[in-house]
Amino acid sequence: MTLVEDAACAAGASYRGRPAGSMGVASAFSFHPRKAITTGEGGMVTTDDDGIAAAVRSLRNHGATTAAR
């Protein structure tokens, strides 16, 4: 079973000694204005999986890439 953690309102929380965002292969946090931490919009995905991280980086830019410098 694969767990993707919805940690939208859980920044700083823990469950059975494990911090929110550390229990799934990926975790999503929200920075919407009604959440505990806000940036006006946006969010954050945490993962230690290189493939998921690369996919999220691509999706955050709608699949667009930048030229290597």
Residue 32 lies in a domain: yes
The answer to the question of residue 39 being in a domain is yes
The reported pLDDT for the residue numbered 14 is: 92
Distance of CA 42 to the CA centre of its chain: 10
Boundaries of domain holding 39:
4-60
The C-alpha atoms of residue 32 and residue 16 are separated, in whole angstroms, by 27
Residue 46 lies in a domain: yes
Active site residues: 35
pTM of the model: 0.72
Query: How far apart are alpha carbons 41 and 33 in whole angstroms?
Result: 7
> Does any domain span residue 69?
no
- Number of domains comprising the chain: 1
Distance in angstroms (rounded) separating the CA atoms of residues 43 and 17: 24
Mean pLDDT to the nearest integer, 6-17: 88
Instruction: Report pLDDT for 60.
Output: 82
Q: Is residue 38 part of a domain?
A: yes
Who wins on pLDDT, 38 or 57?
57
pLDDT level of residue 57 (50, 70, 90 thresholds): confident
Per-residue pLDDT of 14-33, as tens digits, reads 999 999 989 999 999 888 77
Is 68 a domain residue?
A: no
Q: Is residue 37 part of a domain?
A: yes
